[in-house]
């Protein structure tokens, strides 16, 4: 039996403490039996308090306090401990590397466990110290103006679901008995801005869009990855708040997908039922309805407090509340919180793993992998290490805040481009620095003066873009082009384009480095700036990774997980949730840079594609292709496989990503790679959420980008037709 005193996090050995009188501490029993025993001992008021994110201790039962609210979007976030910070989620998606993603999840879970173990040893149970992480954000980044799109894995359901599964598997661990940490798929569902209206808007997408765009990633985590938790969204869906939706919560999540984990509300979302959506008359009705729809814990401290009165008034029964309590304590049991530390292999992870050498190396690896080379006219990049004088300019050139993104932790060391370029070139070069411009202002004409003073430089590197202080979650921003955390324009701020025009007029080579969490329209730059890289918010090692790419110590291979449109005129209304003309799957125009786009310092050739000439409807297939590095540099390549239904229905995708592989090839090396396509990869989903076993022709395209005659990479993709019979 586990002594009660252990449950408070104090160091008292089992030999020196009396045995626990409670069956829920008996580790020989099943988790179900233990949870049933625990819940049966709770009073109504105790049950209510355990359904708040800040659940208090129950001293008489030896149950410690626990706070469900913790974050680990790209490394453990918001903790007071120094931790490893990886690239922002959108940057990790740009790696197109599932193994890197899984390792990142594993390392993040390891650091989270270390923080939890240390906190329990010190009897601390507050916010951001627990093991239930409200990550990942798998909403589809349908519109580049959404400020929280940086937290997602991009605009494609397949890429999002695949990368998210790797993260969840890494974070939750592979122990058959215990979770290392508990992931949570959010925000369920159909949620991607606008931020200022997220508490009140009601979405009514078509069933086709619901099943083919908004739900696939959630299904991948719930059904395939066995994610521990789900967070329901603020907005309403078809007239019901998401946390009280018959269709989303009851029919799909619990009944169809058989989800047995816990659901948390987004923070304050249950308050919105009666305060903003006006679908419920008061807190009691809202709380009861949320619980009856399977929302087990409220992130908040107001509405669920009324549950005791709701039971007394007959709006729900205590037995119905017990369903939620059992889910919550099952998760805590699976995390080993009621077992002796020696039984839980993760309980021995020491605080010394924080910022370990392996974790830091992986943060640098992913920062490098995330960088997308957008333009390299006349092989402007990489720059020579023998350069004598270089100007490093721009609002992000030496900005340690931007690189960390949002929902971030704090590392001990952050590298910026300026620092890393100076370190790389050493005393052999004169590195001139000036911010030159702000993000949206000209710095009082400082930029023009800077250009007048650096006429003898060999090259100009301008590190611009935007900042997580401008785009993000429901934030106040008083800058042109931004509103409430969202963007009102996707254009690079005009002051930056004007400065780049002046810099280009000097006749010096100009390289643009963009930091951003979303797609930026740069039509002038794409025609006139010879070297452009997109570096996202690259985490603690962003500066090192950027310098490595600029000077050729790393050959970039990142791919865009979102479409870079040419202008605002390409976009439908922000609050329109129809997928018509949105994302690469439905966009009928010509993007500036398409989803999946990214250049390299070397060249790759695809040939010897093998696949069957036909397949039976409802079956899967194997596809293989040979890739050869025909250039003079070693490098990585991302092979992308797209499926197109020939003669597709008007609302079906133009094409859809259904496979990708990131591989390393030395100069001159070839490799045959395999793709295994499941039946779901060859089928669309009907309006009831079922696979459509349609017959006809499928085009299978494999290459380093989408098949697109407008780009050199797109021209080199191989396309074959498969007949479905």
514-529 pLDDT, tens digit each: 999 999 999 999 999 9
- Contact criterion met (CB below 8 Å) for 222 and 253: yes
Model confidence, pTM: 0.96
Residue 544 class from Cβ within 10 Å (0-12 exposed, 13-18 middle, 19+ buried)?
buried
**Per-residue DSSP letter, 280:** S
* Residues with Cβ within 8 Å of residue 202, at least 6 apart in sequence: 235, 236, 237, 238, 239, 277
147 and 191 in a common domain: yes
Return the CATH number at 299: 3.20.20.300
313 and 297 in a common domain: yes
Range of the domain at 712: 604-724
51 and 148 in a common domain: yes
Number of H helices, E strands in the chain: 19, 24
Q: Which residues are catalytic?
A: 266, 471
Is position 345 within any domain? Answer: yes
Phi/psi at 584 (nearest 5 deg)? -60, -25
Mean pLDDT by 10 residues, the chain (725 residues): 36 46 95 98 98 98 98 98 98 98 98 98 97 98 98 98 98 97 98 98 97 98 98 98 98 98 98 98 98 98 97 98 98 98 97 98 99 97 96 98 98 98 95 96 77 92 98 95 97 97 96 98 98 98 98 98 98 97 96 97 97 93 98 98 86 94 98 96 89 90 89 83 94
- Contact criterion met (CB below 8 Å) for 62 and 360: no
- Residue at a domain's end among 338, 353, 368: 353
Phi/psi at 702 (nearest 5 deg)? -130, 130
- Contact criterion met (CB below 8 Å) for 86 and 73: no
Is position 610 within any domain? Answer: yes
374 and 251 in a common domain: no
**CA–CA gap between residue 118 and residue 349 (Å, rounded):** 9
HSE toward the beta carbon, residue 700, CA cutoff 13 A: 28
Indicate the SS3 state at residue 420: helix
Phi/psi at 443 (nearest 5 deg)? 65, 30
**694 Rama sector, left if φ>0, alpha if ψ -120 to 50, beta otherwise:** beta
Is position 596 within any domain? Answer: no
309 and 170 in a common domain: yes
348 and 364 in a common domain: no
- Total number of domains in the chain: 4
Return the CATH number at 483: 3.40.50.1700
Is position 123 within any domain? Answer: yes
656 and 520 in a common domain: no
Neighbours of 422 (CB within 10 A): 19
**CA–CA gap between residue 557 and residue 382 (Å, rounded):** 14
Return the CATH number at 671: 2.60.40.10
Q: Determine the pLDDT at residue 348.
A: 97
**CA–CA gap between residue 141 and residue 721 (Å, rounded):** 30
Q: Strands, E, within 25-64: which ranges?
A: 54-55
DSSP codes of every residue in 565-582: -SSGGG---TT----TT-
618 and 505 in a common domain: no
657 and 510 in a common domain: no
Is position 152 within any domain? Answer: yes
């Amino acid at each position: 039996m586990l002594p009660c005193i252990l449950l408070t996090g104090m160091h008292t050995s089992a030999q020196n403490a009396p045995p626990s009188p409670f069956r829920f501490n008996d580790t020989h029993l099943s988790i179900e039996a233990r949870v049933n025993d625990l819940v049966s001992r709770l009073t109504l008021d105790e049950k209510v308090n355990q359904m708040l994110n800040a659940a208090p201790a129950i001293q008489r039962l030896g149950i410690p306090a626990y706070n469900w609210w913790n974050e680990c979007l790209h490394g453990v976030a918001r903790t007071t401990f120094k931790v490893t910070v990886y690239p922002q989620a959108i940057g990790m998606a740009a790696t197109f590397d599932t193994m890197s993603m899984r390792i990142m999840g594993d390392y993040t879970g390891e650091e989270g466990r270390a923080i939890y173990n240390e906190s329990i040893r010190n009897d601390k149970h507050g916010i951001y110290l627990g093991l239930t992480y409200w990550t990942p954000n798998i909403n589809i980044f349908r519109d580049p103006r959404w400020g929280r799109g940086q937290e997602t894995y991009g605009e494609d359901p397949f890429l999002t679901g695949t990368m998210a599964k790797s993260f969840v598997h890494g974070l939750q661990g592979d122990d058959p008995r215990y979770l290392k940490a508990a992931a949570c798929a959010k925000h369920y569902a159909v949620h991607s801005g606008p931020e200022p209206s997220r508490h009140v808007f009601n979405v009514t997408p078509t069933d086709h869009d619901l099943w083919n765009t908004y739900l696939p990633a959630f299904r991948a985590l719930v059904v395939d990855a066995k994610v521990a938790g789900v967070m329901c969204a603020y907005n309403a869906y078809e007239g019901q708040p998401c946390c009280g939706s018959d269709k989303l919560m009851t029919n799909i999540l619990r009944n169809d997908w058989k989800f047995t984990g816990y659901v948390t509300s987004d923070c304050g979302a249950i308050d919105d039922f009666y305060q903003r959506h006006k679908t419920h008359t008061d807190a009691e009705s809202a709380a009861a309805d949320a619980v009856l729809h399977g929302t087990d814990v409220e992130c908040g401290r107001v509405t669920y407090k009324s549950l005791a009165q709701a039971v007394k008034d007959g709006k729900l029964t205590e037995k119905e509340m017990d369903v939620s309590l059992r889910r919550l304590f099952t998760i805590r049991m699976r995390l080993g919180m009621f077992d002796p530390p020696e039984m839980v292999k993760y309980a021995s992870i020491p605080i010394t793993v924080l910022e370990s050498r392996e974790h830091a190396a992986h943060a640098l690896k992913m920062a490098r992998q995330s960088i997308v080379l957008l333009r390299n006219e006349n092989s402007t990049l990489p720059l020579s290490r023998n350069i004598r004088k270089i100007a490093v300019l721009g609002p992000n050139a030496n900005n340690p805040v931007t690189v960390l993104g949002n929902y971030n932790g704090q590392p001990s060391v952050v590298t910026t481009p300026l620092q890393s370029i100076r370190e790389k070139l050493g005393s052999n070069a004169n590195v001139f620095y000036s911010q030159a411009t702000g993000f949206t202002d000209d710095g009082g004409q400082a930029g023009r003066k800077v250009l007048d003073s650096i006429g003898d430089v060999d090259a100009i590197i301008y590190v611009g873009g935007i900042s997580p202080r401008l785009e993000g979650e429901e934030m106040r921003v008083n800058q042109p082009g931004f509103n409430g955390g969202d963007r009102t324009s996707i254009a690079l701020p005009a002051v930056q384009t004007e400065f780049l025009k002046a810099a280009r007029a000097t006749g010096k080579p100009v390289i643009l480095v963009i930091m951003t969490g979303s797609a930026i329209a740069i039509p002038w730059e794409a025609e006139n700036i010879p070297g452009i890289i997109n570096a996202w918010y690259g985490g603690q090692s962003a500066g090192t990774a950027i310098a490595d790419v600029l000077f050729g110590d790393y050959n970039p291979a990142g791919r865009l997980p979102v479409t870079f449109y040419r202008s605002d005129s390409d976009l439908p209304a922000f609050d329109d949730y129809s997928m018509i003309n949105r994302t690469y799957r439905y966009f009928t125009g010509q993007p500036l840079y398409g989803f999946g786009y990214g250049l390299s310092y070397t060249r790759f050739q695809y040939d010897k594609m093998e696949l069957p000439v036909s397949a039976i409807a409802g079956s899967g297939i194997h596809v293989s292709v040979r890739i050869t590095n025909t250039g003079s540099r070693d490098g990585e390549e991302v092979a992308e496989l797209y499926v197109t239904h020939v003669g597709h229905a008007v609302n079906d995708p133009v094409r859809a990503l259904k496979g990708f592989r990131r591989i390393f090839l030395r100069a001159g090396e070839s490799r045959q790679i395999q793709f295994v396509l499941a039946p779901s990869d060859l089928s669309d989903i009907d309006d009831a959420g079922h696979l459509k076993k349609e017959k006809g022709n499928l085009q299978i395209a494999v290459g380093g980008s989408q098949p697109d005659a407008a780009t050199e990479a797109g021209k080199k993709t191989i396309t074959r037709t498969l007949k479905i019979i």
